[in-house]
A and B are shown apart, each in its own frame.
Chain A
């Protein structure tokens, strides 16, 4: 492996990692703050992608589609929280696993009923539809770089929201002591609804902006779900910082795994996860 090749693969790995972070960040937030284990997170990713496709083919613009779809997914998230998830906060994780497992089936069938089982493509916005040449026959799509930029912005935004704002303070307080926050007169129920909706919207948003790269197809959520769990668990549940670190580690491991040890590429991330958890049972940045 020559040096240029190595550098490009490094870039690939980091970029893939950032993409993973985009999906995993919502998951870790809902996980960490409300203690909800959400297997249907991948379904929201899929819902986002399908919304991006159907709305952009209606309006002719991905940007417009995303602007329309975000409020829709926020409403979806709030509705689901009120109707379903609210009843499970005090219960064992087991029931959350169960409920969200059921949700996966429901979303997958609804997708089939509403949008059908075809593969669809979403066009890259014209402004970003270009490539930067790297070597004589390899170039890098600008849209991928743009997504990486969005991921970084989002990460910074999340960090700011949670660490620096009043809402973030309440969220953090609510995560560690629900009753105390309640007794201080803060409407914890509302906060939970908001956080949950935020998590759903993040997953859906990831699906939307990734749709031009990934295309839109049945069961697309299932593919990202498990890998995002791995990211969240390695990073430490609830830690946005951890999710970022873990995403990059996984991105690099998968990229170099496929190139260097293709025979076992499929299981590398799981081996990595097992090692981390045995070494640090609460994840890299988790609170023990």
Chain B
């Protein structure tokens, strides 16, 4: 019921959005002289990312990655220098439309890059659909952005929540697990990851015995761990992130479940927290579009350059920011920096093959990465790659009529 309604909306919304773009491009085509002028100035890039609060670290990693990509292009995209406008979105969805408006209307940026929090992504989508501004999302995995609410000017260089757990079904099947329990926070991202896993696992003949939810953003897991112990599933699949993930891994071990019921998860469960959890993460297997020890030329070069420039080790967020830069570079190179040729930019970006540290990926019709999902295993302080769990996994983009 709910889904049908959503799909209904989208149609209308998509039509609105696409007419806006069509209009813009028509105007661009009619005014070739104006484009020459536009090329003179700097390209305005609006970064709308969290620089304060819980996700501040992610905002910084994405910004660094993006800037590294630009640096590698000689500080220019399509021959144009870059001017940054930064807005701290505070990961506050209530302020999202207003914050993105700052970039679109006040600063008149050519492209918006953002953001981490999926509620803020939804707020941005509303404004950017109407304005038709080019938008590259370097993290927030809300399915709707490249699903029900998709639009020609929306691009994502990270993942959809669905993608990060879907491949786990195959993995669990291969391990001989017939049933599993999924545990996550009660909020949209958690529920979408649960759906992604459930679909993948059931297709393989597995059974999701129970969905367990912890009120967001609480970190008291004891009650549900006890419940898991009494259900005795073949496997547990989890999604938490940041401090919650660290605590969950520790609690799972302390409750004696570790080693008795194998733990799997969306890659974020073990990303950025391994230093914090000691040996509690050891052996946990997750799927994600990036991993440690990929050992490709591109990845090595990227890691080296990143570490040298920022005195920090890169993570998956830095990769996503870096790829946002690469995707934009591809789009602008095709139109020689003439960003007002929106159709040209979009076409070029759609066709781009991104040579990413995570491996080469392309965009789906709905503009979400079609990418390999790696199976990773925690070894020491690293999420060591074990192989590819799903080759070129594409988000189903349900409800997207693009």
Contacts and interface: CB of A to CB of B under 8 A. Distances in A.
Q: How extensive is the interface on chain A, given as a class?
A: 35 or more
B246 A138 contact: no
B246 A262 contact: no
A138 B229 contact: yes
A121 B213 contact: no
A8 B230 CA distance: 10
B227 to A, nearest CB: 6
A2 B226 CA distance: 12
A8 B220 CA distance: 15
Given A112-B56, A265-B213, A137 B257 contact: yes
Contacts of A265: 186, 213-215
Nearest to B58: A117
B23 interface: no
Contact of B256 (A121, A131, A214): A131
Given A118-B57, A213-B250, A259 B276 contact: no
Nearest to B187: A266
B275 A121 contact: yes
Contacts of B212: 262
Interface in A102-141: 108-109, 112, 116-121, 123, 131, 133-135, 137-141
Contact of B229 (A135, A215, A216, A220): A135
Contacts of A123: 278
A256 B223 CA distance: 7
A218 B243 CA distance: 8
A254 interface: yes
A137 B261 contact: yes
Interface in A172-227: 213-220, 223
A15 to B, nearest CB: 7
Interface of B: 52-54, 56-57, 60, 186, 212-220, 222-227, 229-230, 232, 242-243, 245-247, 250-251, 254-257, 260-261, 272-273, 275-278
Q: Nearest 8 A-B pairs (CB), nearest first? A: A217-B243, A139-B256, A121-B276, A266-B215, A138-B229, A141-B254, A215-B246, A117-B57
Interface of A: 2, 5, 8-9, 12-13, 15-16, 108-109, 112, 116-121, 123, 131, 133-135, 137-141, 143-144, 213-220, 223, 254-256, 258-259, 262, 265-266
